[in-house]
Amino acid sequence: MFKIMMSIMVASILSMALMIMCTTISKKSTMDREKMSPFECGFDPKSSARMPFSIQFFLIAILFLIFDIEIVIILPSMITLKTSTFMTWSTTMTFFIMILIGGLIHEWKNNMLEWA
């Protein structure tokens, strides 16, 4: 237990020291017009390089990420089927899948899946 606490303290102190050192060493850059504008061979840009990001695309990406993580969690559960009883395993998987289906229904009702 002492080794675990000591390693947590060393890791915390080391990370704090690195963060403090990086903030003191790094110089502040001023955000002037030249640094904020995109470079196009010395000419003024024809259109804005900073287009607004679609929040709908972000929500679809988050939804995709959630279902990716679901697959990562469900696949190793097949291995635990050997070590646990079938009733416990099926109850756990049913509960897990019902939570995910509930989240999908919630997103569907809030029209988060509508692209238009």
Per-residue pLDDT of the chain (116 residues; tens, 9 = 90+): 888 889 999 999 999 999 998 888 876 655 656 666 666 566 666 666 666 777 778 877 887 888 888 888 888 888 888 888 888 888 888 988 898 888 888 888 888 777 66
Q: Look at residue 92 and tell me if it is in a domain.
A: yes
Task: Pull the structure tokens for residue 60.
Answer: 């679809």
Task: Pull the structure tokens for residue 1.
Answer: 């237990």
Greatest CA span in the chain, whole angstroms? 70
- Number of structural domains found in the chain: 1
CB-based contact 96:71 (threshold 8 Å)? no
Q: For residues 37 and 34, what is the distance between their CA atoms, to the nearest angstrom?
A: 5
pTM for this entry: 0.46
Q: Look at residue 104 and tell me if it is in a domain.
A: yes
Q: Look at residue 68 and tell me if it is in a domain.
A: yes
Q: Look at residue 42 and tell me if it is in a domain.
A: no
Q: Which amino acid, 24?
A: T
Q: For residues 27 and 84, what is the distance between their CA atoms, to the nearest angstrom?
A: 57
Expressed as residue numbers, the domain containing 68 is 53-116
3-state secondary structure of 83: helix
Q: For residues 19 and 26, what is the distance between their CA atoms, to the nearest angstrom?
A: 11
